[in-house]
């Protein structure tokens, strides 16, 4: 049933390959520019509690124009009206909107799209938190293929929404169809040869992209990181292991690093690197891991098939 999607994906790849390098850079720049404009418009509205998608305040609900902003639950949105939203917006559109919203509130910290915490059986498994609301998007390989021999034999995803920690929409309430566009993006993203990486734009990054940045250029990452005394605010926990020479690290060097950390707000990992940089016989390594405050991915228990 997904043969046509695969065919479209194949032809997309061929087209992409023939695109001249120059052209593809131009395309990428245009896309970036478009996202930047959209994002600026989004932030302007967000700060006034207005939805950038429909132009109405977050607290209004109009049945004539179903909108993804209902999911923020600042309006009297009822669970039974959820299908109206997904008739108008597909998975990638809803994800982008909720990521932008979460990012505007607390950067990457409340977007858990960590691959490490997700099961191999999943196409995607992402939990996003914003204020008192938590959304989880879940799609297993079985969902993507469609549950054969049932009414839900079409490619779909599942959604959970909690308000103040209480269930509002359950994973099994809806089998939400993946749009053709969703399916194409998923096929391309899971094909290492396609060279396709979907971007959710400037406000769309989650913890995975954040951790990727550490892996790519740890020095830069550590240098730019700011330490926080409030554990609720951090996104990454950094642990440094310092190996000193036999006679130890001079106490005044340690004091200097601590003082620098206090005064600049930079992380200890960074300050030790600066202070102990040219010290003979000192080696340092830093391990970064997602902070405790990153919400856990809400897990869906799949029905066992007999």
Residues in the site for Zn ion, rule: CB under 5 A?
51, 53-54, 67, 69, 143
Given a contact cutoff of 8 angstroms between Cβ atoms, the answer to whether 42 and 203 are in contact is yes
Q: What's the residue count for the chain? A: 306
CB of 306 to Zn ion, least distance (A): 16
> CB neighbours (10 Å) of residue 295?
16
Indicate the residue among 90 and 143 with the shorter CB distance to Zn ion: 143
Phi, psi at 37, each rounded to 5°: -60, -45
Indicate the residue among 93 and 194 with the shorter CB distance to Zn ion: 93
Name the E strands within 148-269.
156-163, 166-169, 176-177, 236-243
Indicate the residue among 175 and 273 with the shorter CB distance to Zn ion: 175
CB of 140 to Zn ion, least distance (A): 7
Indicate the residue among 182 and 257 with the shorter CB distance to Zn ion: 182
Indicate the residue among 8 and 53 with the shorter CB distance to Zn ion: 53
Residues 163, 118: Cα–Cα separation, whole Å: 23
Of 42, 70, 68, nearest in space to 202 by CA: 42
Strand pairing report for 283-290 and 122-130? unpaired
Helices and strands (H and E) in the chain: how many = 10, 8
């Amino acid at each position: 049933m997904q043969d046509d999607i695969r065919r479209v994906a194949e032809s997309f790849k061929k087209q992409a390959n023939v695109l001249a390098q120059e052209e593809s850079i131009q395309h990428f720049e245009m896309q970036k520019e478009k996202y930047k404009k959209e994002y600026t418009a989004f932030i302007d509205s967000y700060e006034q509690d207005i939805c950038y998608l429909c132009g109405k305040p977050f607290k209004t609900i109009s049945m004539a124009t179903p909108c993804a902003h209902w999911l923020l639950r600042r309006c009297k949105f009822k669970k039974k009206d959820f299908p109206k939203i997904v008739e108008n917006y597909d998975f990638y559109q809803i994800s982008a909107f909720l990521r932008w919203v979460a990012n505007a509130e607390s950067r990457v910290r409340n977007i858990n799209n960590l691959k490490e915490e997700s099961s191999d059986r999943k196409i995607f498994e992402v939990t996003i938190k914003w204020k008192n609301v938590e959304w989880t998007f879940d799609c297993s390989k079985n969902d993507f293929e469609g549950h054969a021999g049932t009414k839900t034999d079409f490619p779909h995803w599942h959604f959970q929404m909690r308000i103040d920690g209480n269930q509002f929409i359950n994973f099994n309430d809806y089998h939400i169809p993946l749009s053709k566009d969703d399916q194409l993006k998923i096929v391309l993203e899971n094909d290492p040869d396609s060279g396709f990486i979907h971007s959710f734009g400037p406000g769309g990054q989650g913890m995975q992209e954040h951790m990727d940045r550490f892996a790519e250029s740890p020095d830069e990452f550590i240098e730019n990181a700011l330490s926080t005394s409030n554990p609720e605010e951090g996104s990454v926990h950094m642990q440094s292991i310092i190996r000193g020479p036999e006679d130890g690290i001079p106490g005044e060097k340690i004091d200097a690093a601590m003082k620098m950390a206090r005064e600049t707000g930079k992380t200890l990992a960074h300050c030790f690197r600066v202070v102990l940089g040219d010290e003979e016989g000192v080696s340092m390594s830093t391990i970064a891991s997602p902070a405790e405050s990153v919400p856990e991915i809400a897990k869906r228990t799949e029905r066992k098939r007999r």
